[in-house]
């Protein structure tokens, strides 16, 4: 694949594939023409897409003519850019997205980029398929039930044993993420944190770039500007920056109100000891619902920008936990105060919300994407869902 974030790929990068004679590989494939809209062509297209997801991920580029050997067979090397013409790139992208959404299960998020700049208003289409952690994905078009993967020679159909192993591998990956979270929460509960925290009521947010984490790939933590600009504690002050054995740390050295730890594999842990409020002696500790959700949304938006700047690709697992939170209640808003909590406060010391997975780094959709986490937090406090979302699922905090 092209080793750049997809939104940074330009015509020059595509032209360089030709001049450098970059051959096809397990994570890169060239196609001269887009698939037509017959069922057979769509099944072949979906088989290609799912094979990348079930292997190592990669890029398929439509609009490059492969070279051929003396026998007339393609040799995997790019010959020339053959731009797609006579089509609307936005319509093409929409059709490809719908085909992938409706023809592969479970659903597979991909990124599609149309790059212009060649003659006759031609363009190429690049589809970036992430290595999936919900694999194996199956082609389901017209009641098809086929699983595919890839090796250096291209795609191949999985046999029964390979399908079973693929499911077992997915379970193992999920267990690693679960163990990481449990281990970190145990350390926070036991006060084994890089800084002494000012309060026992702790908001903990974990972000795990699944590709880096599961493949044990280290990121470049020498990019000081990117780390200092984007990776700050959720709400409390930071500003004291240093490297440590785990990676990079940004923390409040004076008040102990919070910290953010970026690990070598890109996982991030931010702990805040001030966002859960205390109302003197009159009320129990509380979650200030509107401010709480707002700060978490804003923090996640910055972290997504940070991952993009560091070249870390999605998917990214996001997990919210409250530690030392038994007895914490939900404050609806300053104007409404409690309005009669239907069932009472959180009933345990550690409340771990179900994880969500962010499939792209688009910050505009984050409020909607984070809704299941906030719904779970409100449910822990006795409410059916977050009341800061409207019926359409848009974040609309109460006044």
pLDDT digits (tens, 9 = 90+) for 345-375: 899 999 999 999 888 888 888 999 999 999 9
Candidate CATH numbers 3.30.950.30, 4.10.490.10, 3.40.30.10, 3.30.43.10; the one for domain 6-158: 3.30.950.30
Does pLDDT of 159 surpass 90?
no
Looking at residue 335, what is its pLDDT?
46
Cis peptide before 136 (omega within 30 of 0): yes
**Confidence check: pLDDT of 343 > 60:** no
Q: In whole angstroms, what is the distance from residue 104 CA to residue 109 CA?
A: 10
pLDDT digit string, tens, across residues 83-105: 999 899 999 999 999 999 999 99
User: 325 pLDDT exceeds 80?
Assistant: yes
- Examine the pLDDT at 296 and tell me if it is beyond 70: yes
pTM: 0.72
Is residue 339's pLDDT more than 60? no
Overall average pLDDT of the 149-165 stretch: 85
Confidence band for 301, pLDDT divided at 50, 70 and 90: very high
Q: What is the pLDDT of residue 154?
A: 85
- Distance of alpha carbon 367 from alpha carbon 377, whole angstroms: 15
**Which residue did the predictor score with more confidence, 282 or 254?**
254
pLDDT surpasses 80 at 337: no
Residue 281 banded pLDDT, cuts 50, 70, 90: very low
340 pLDDT above the threshold of 60 = no
Mean pLDDT over each residue of the chain, to the nearest integer:
88
Predicted local distance difference test score (pLDDT) of residue 187 = 94
Give the number of residues written for the chain: 399
CA pair distance 334, 315, nearest whole angstrom = 36
Residue 281 or 185, more confident: 185
Q: Which pLDDT belongs to residue 264?
A: 94
Contacts of 305 (CB under 8 A, 6+ apart): 230, 361, 363
pLDDT on residue 283: 59
pLDDT of residue 279: 56
Answer yes or no: is pLDDT of 232 > 80: yes
Per-residue 3-state assignment (H helix, E strand, C coil) for the chain: CCCCCHHHCCHHHHHHHHHCCCCCECCEEEECCCCCCCHHHHHHHHHHHHHHHCCCCEEEEECEEEEECCCCCEEEEEEEECCECCCCHHHHHHHHHHHHHHHEECCCCCEEEEEECCHHHCEEEEEEECCCCCCCCEECHHHCCEEEEEECCEEEECCHHHHHHHHHHHHHHHHHHHHHHHHHHHHHHCCCCCCCCCCCCEEEEEEEEHHHHHCCCCCCCCCHHHHHHHCCCCCCCCCEEEECCCEEEEECCCCCCEEEEEECCCCEEEEECCCCECCCCCCCCEEEHHHHHHHHHHHHHHHHHHHHHHCCCCCEEEEEEEECCCCCEEECECCCECCCCCCCCCCCCEEECCCEEECCCCHHHHHHHCHHHHHHHHHHCCCCCCCCECCCCCECCCC
Residue 283 φ/ψ, nearest 5 degrees: -120, 165
Give the residue extent of every domain in the chain: 6-158, 171-380
């Amino acid at each position: 694949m092209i080793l750049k974030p997809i939104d940074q790929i330009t015509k020059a990068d595509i032209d360089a594939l030709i001049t450098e004679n970059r051959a096809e590989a397990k994570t890169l494939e060239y196609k001269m023409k887009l698939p037509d809209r017959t069922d057979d062509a769509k099944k072949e297209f979906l088989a290609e897409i799912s094979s990348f997801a079930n292997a190592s991920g990669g890029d398929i580029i439509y609009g490059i003519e492969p070279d051929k050997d003396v026998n007339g067979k393609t040799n995997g090397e790019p010959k020339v850019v053959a731009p797609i013409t006579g089509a609307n790139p936005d319509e093409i992208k929409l059709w490809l997205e719908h085909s992938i959404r409706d023809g592969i299960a479970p659903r597979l998020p991909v990124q599609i980029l149309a790059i212009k700049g060649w003659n006759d208003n031609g363009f190429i289409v690049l589809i970036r398929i992430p290595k999936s952690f919900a694999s194996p994905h199956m082609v389901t078009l017209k009641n098809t039930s086929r699983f595919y993967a890839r090796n250096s020679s291209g795609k191949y159909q999985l046999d029964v044993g390979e399908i079973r192993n693929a499911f077992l591998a997915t379970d193992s990956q999920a267990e690693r993420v679960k163990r990481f979270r449990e281990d970190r929460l145990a350390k926070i509960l036991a006060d084994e944190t890089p800084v002494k925290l000012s309060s026992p009521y702790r908001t903990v947010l974990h972000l795990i770039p699944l590709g880096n984490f599961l493949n044990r790939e280290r990121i470049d933590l020498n990019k000081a500007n990117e780390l200092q600009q984007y990776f700050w504690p959720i709400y409390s002050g930071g500003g004291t920056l240093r490297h440590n054995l785990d990676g990079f740390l940004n923390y409040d050295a004076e008040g102990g109100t919070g910290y953010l730890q970026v690990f070598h594999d890109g996982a991030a842990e931010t702990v805040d000891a001030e966002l859960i409020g205390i109302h003197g002696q009159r009320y129990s500790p509380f979650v200030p619902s509107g401010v709480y959700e707002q700060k978490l949304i804003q923090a996640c938006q910055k972290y997504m920008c940070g991952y993009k700047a560091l070249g870390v690709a999605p998917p990214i697992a996001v997990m919210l936990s409250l530690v030392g939170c038994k007895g914490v209640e939900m404050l609806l808003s300053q104007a409404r105060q409690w309005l009669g909590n239907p069932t009472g406060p959180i009933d345990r010391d550690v409340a771990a919300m179900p994880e969500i997975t962010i499939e792209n780094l688009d910050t505009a959709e984050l409020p909607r994407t984070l809704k299941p986490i906030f719904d779970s937090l409100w449910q822990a406090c006795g409410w059916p869902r977050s009341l800061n979302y409207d019926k359409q699922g848009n974040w609309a905090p109460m006044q």
